[in-house]
Amino acid sequence: MSSQRSEPTGLYGADADEPARRRAFAGGAVPVAVYGLGKMGLPLAAVYAEASGAVTGVDIDPDVAEAVDAGECPVEGEPGLPEAVERLTADGSLSATTDAVGAAAAASVHVVIVPTLVADDEPDLSALEAAVRSVGEGLDAGDTVIIESTVPPRTCRDRVAPWLEAESGLELGEFGLAFCPERTMSGRALEDIRGAHPKVVGGADDESARVAELIYGEITDAEIYTVSDPATAECVKVFEGLYRDVNIALANELATLAGEFGVDVPEAIEVANTQPFCDIHDPGPGVGGHCIPYYPYFVISEAESATPLLETARHVNEYMPEYTVDRATEALADEGRDLSEATAAVFGLAYRPGVDETRASPGVDVAELLADRAETVYAVDPVTTDSPPAGVERVSLDDIDARELDLAVVATAHDEFESIPWDAFDDVVVLDGRRQLDGQAVPHPVARLGDGSGKN
Ligand SMILES: NC(=O)C1=CN([C@@H]2O[C@H](COP(=O)(O)OP(=O)(O)OC[C@H]3O[C@@H](n4cnc5c(N)ncnc54)[C@H](O)[C@@H]3O)[C@@H](O)[C@H]2O)C=CC1
Ligand SMILES: CC(=O)N[C@@H]1[C@@H](OP(=O)(O)OP(=O)(O)OC[C@H]2O[C@@H](n3ccc(=O)[nH]c3=O)[C@H](O)[C@@H]2O)O[C@H](C(=O)O)[C@@H](O)[C@@H]1O
């Protein structure tokens, strides 16, 4: 009589064929823990809960854990997420806790998506280490650990695996480890996680890759690309970000040549991009967010070899807020006015449209520079709630028309800025950093970044 194979709870090395493993995962027999319930982690935990019905979310912030466990959604600006969190906690597919070790002891699949930041141009992996060590304390043979946080290449090999082995007393091969990066944009996280882009899997061994492929085969509709190892998958993710930073730096450097060439550089870029081998990105006042400005340092600071291109791109992009204020100063001077006596307003503190995030934001940098150089500075941003920089007064979009402005700088192309009340201002000079005003009737002098109207 064939022995009734018990449904595996751990997938790694399980004595069960692929269909049985899929049934176990999709049937809630494989408990999952997701560490980090932030802008990426909460949507990810929700999609895991939809697919497996057995997810415990872990966050060190008790307010976050309590809110999620109560079916509330602390993450703003993600369509569909509040409803998903409410539904999944109500049906028992998703719960949340601050007890990382307890959750790790109960789970067989561990997904880590905590912040990986940069401090003084060096990667700060302290949150990753804390989360991974907690997982290690609760790790059992047959478990699988999946790292989704963006990390410097070789982190899984040189840091995560040793941390897990040290805390668990197990050896890699008794448990699985894979790097499966998150390629998702805030504001469309559920759509992206469910399958907007191919999913990358890098397993520490073949069995780890098999388990990760099985899991993401249930999570996403997208194609799965399995690469040689975790380091290759770590490079895939970081390279995407490096490409973006360098490409934007090219666009920005070209924009700074516009005055010399007497050319509208975005016009030239747009037409250059009609050739399929050209994809120059958009120039702007800088590169913000907690990803693209930081990923280069995951390589610059970690690589023994020289990285002159990555460093130069960072310098070009970090210079753009100053270039933007210089161009605005020039545009004001063209109208016979001096910035030092001017009242200025920055439209947009968020790092990109529609996202409530000001980390490394060009708009914040522009506001800070203006606060040093202008008489009075206001900031208008209908999306972010963060305080503006020192010396800058936040004014709502509804109230800005009551202020007499000499200069307006558009740093972020929020949709709401389609309706800036330009007629309300008597005599304002506008510097459009994001081509937000193209097509708008603005009854004032408008300079556009890279339009060739300046001296440089
Ligand atoms: N935000 C984005 O657009 C994307 C972010 N990523 C990556 O995802 C990772 C997470 O980023 P976000 O979700 O944006 O961060 P976030 O800052 O929005 O959220 C991080 C959450 O993790 C929690 N946390 C911190 N340390 C923890 C620990 N030791 N254990 C458990 N929870 C902990 C925090 O309390 C917070 O709730 C990062 O590695 C980032 O590079 C990847 C793709 C897109
Ligand atoms: C689109 C892309 O290639 N990567 C995405 C990126 O998301 P992020 O939220 O950082 O937005 P982003 O569109 O890259 O913009 C970053 C910054 O760069 C600026 N930016 C962007 C594109 C451009 O042509 N010019 C430009 O100046 C934006 O204004 C912003 O300040 O980084 C995410 C990440 O890795 O965290 C990644 O998952 C996302 O897919």
ipTM: 0.97
**Mean pLDDT across the chain:** 96
The confidence band for 7, taking pLDDT boundaries of 50, 70 and 90, is: low
3-state secondary structure 281-325: CCCCCCCCCCCCCCHHHHHHCCCCCCCHHHHHHHHHHHHHHHHHH
In testing the pocket of ligand 1, which one of 113, 147, 294 has its CB within 8 Å of the most ligand atoms? 113
71 is a domain residue: yes
Q: How far is the CA of 160 from the centre of ligand 1 (A)?
A: 17
Last residue of a domain, one of 178, 194, 228: 228
Least confident among 29-38, 158-167, 209-218, 445-454:
445-454
| Residue of the CA atom closest to atom 19 of ligand 2 | 287
Residue 3 has pLDDT above 60, yes or no: no
Q: How far is the CA of 13 from the centre of ligand 2 (A)?
A: 39
- Cβ of 59 below 6 Å from ligand 1: yes
Q: How far is CA 342 from CA 40, 330, 404, in A?
A: 41, 13, 10
Identify the pLDDT of residue 8.
58
- Cβ of 355 below 6 Å from ligand 1: no
| Residue of the CA atom closest to atom 25 of ligand 2 | 282
- As a whole number, mean pLDDT of residues 21-33 equals 96
* φ/ψ of residue 409, rounded to 5: -115, 120
Q: Give me the residues paired with residue 112 across strands.
A: 35, 147
Q: Which ligand lies nearest to the CA atom of residue 289 in the structure?
A: 2
Instruction: Clarify whether residues 217 and 321 are in a common domain.
Output: no
Q: What percent of the chain has pLDDT over 70?
A: 98
- As a whole number, mean pLDDT of residues 228-233 equals 98
Last residue of a domain, one of 189, 206, 228: 228
Give the pair of three-digit tokens for residue 329.
Answer: 């100063």
Identify the pLDDT of residue 291.
94
Q: What percent of the chain has pLDDT over 90?
A: 95
- As a whole number, mean pLDDT of residues 71-86 equals 97
Q: Which ligand lies nearest to the CA atom of residue 124 in the structure?
A: 1
Give the pair of three-digit tokens for residue 259.
Answer: 């005055």
Q: How far is the CA of 117 from the centre of ligand 1 (A)?
A: 9
pLDDT digits (tens, 9 = 90+) for 157-175: 999 999 999 999 999 999 9
* Catalytic pick among 156, 180, 235, 291: 291
The confidence band for 2, taking pLDDT boundaries of 50, 70 and 90, is: very low
**What does pTM read for this prediction?**
0.95
99 is a domain residue: yes
Identify the pLDDT of residue 278.
98
Domain that holds residue 394: 310-448
- As a whole number, mean pLDDT of residues 319-341 equals 97
Per the annotation, the verdict on 291 as an active-site residue is: yes
Instruction: Clarify whether residues 217 and 326 are in a common domain.
Output: no
Which CATH number covers residue 117?
3.40.50.720
Last residue of a domain, one of 228, 262, 289: 228
279 is a domain residue: no
Number of domains in the chain: 2
Atom of ligand 2 nearest to the CA of 292: 10
102 is a domain residue: yes
Residue 372 has pLDDT above 90, yes or no: yes
pLDDT digits (tens, 9 = 90+) for 247-295: 999 999 999 999 999 999 999 999 999 999 999 999 999 999 989 999 9
Q: Which residues contact 187 (CB under 8 A, 6 or more apart)?
A: 77, 78, 79, 354, 355
Give the pair of three-digit tokens for residue 376.
Answer: 């009075």
From edge to edge, which strands make up the β-sheet containing 407-410? Answer: 393-394, 376-380, 343-347, 407-410, 429-432, 446-448
Identify the pLDDT of residue 456.
66
Instruction: Clarify whether residues 29 and 174 are in a common domain.
Output: yes
Q: How far is the CA of 60 from the centre of ligand 2 (A)?
A: 27
Q: How far is the CA of 82 from the centre of ligand 1 (A)?
A: 18
Residue list, ligand 2 pocket, CB within 6 Å:
150, 183-186, 240-241, 244, 248, 281-282, 284, 287-289, 291-292, 351-352, 362
Q: How far is the CA of 316 from the centre of ligand 2 (A)?
A: 16
Burial 222-245 (b: 16+ CB within 10 A, else e): bebebbebbbebbbbbbebbbebb
- Cβ of 128 below 6 Å from ligand 1: no
297 is a domain residue: no
Identify the pLDDT of residue 438.
87
Atom of ligand 1 nearest to the CA of 64: 37
Identify the pLDDT of residue 440.
86
Per the annotation, the verdict on 237 as an active-site residue is: yes
Residue 5 has pLDDT above 50, yes or no: no
| Residue of the CA atom closest to atom 36 of ligand 1 | 38
Q: Which residues contact 325 (CB under 8 A, 6 or more apart)?
A: 366, 369, 370, 373, 409
The residue with tokens 């028992």 is 92
Instruction: Clarify whether residues 219 and 327 are in a common domain.
Output: no
453 is a domain residue: no
Instruction: Clarify whether residues 164 and 63 are in a common domain.
Output: yes
454 is a domain residue: no
Atom of ligand 2 nearest to the CA of 288: 31
282 is a domain residue: no
The confidence band for 338, taking pLDDT boundaries of 50, 70 and 90, is: very high
Residue 455 has pLDDT above 90, yes or no: no
Identify the pLDDT of residue 1.
42
pLDDT digits (tens, 9 = 90+) for 119-149: 999 999 999 999 999 999 999 999 999 999 9
Instruction: Clarify whether residues 192 and 53 are in a common domain.
Output: yes
* Catalytic pick among 199, 237, 278, 455: 237
Q: For residues 405 and 361, what is the distance between their CA atoms, to the nearest angstrom?
A: 23
Residue 4 has pLDDT above 60, yes or no: no
Is there a contact between 225 and 217 (Cβ–Cβ < 8 Å)?
no
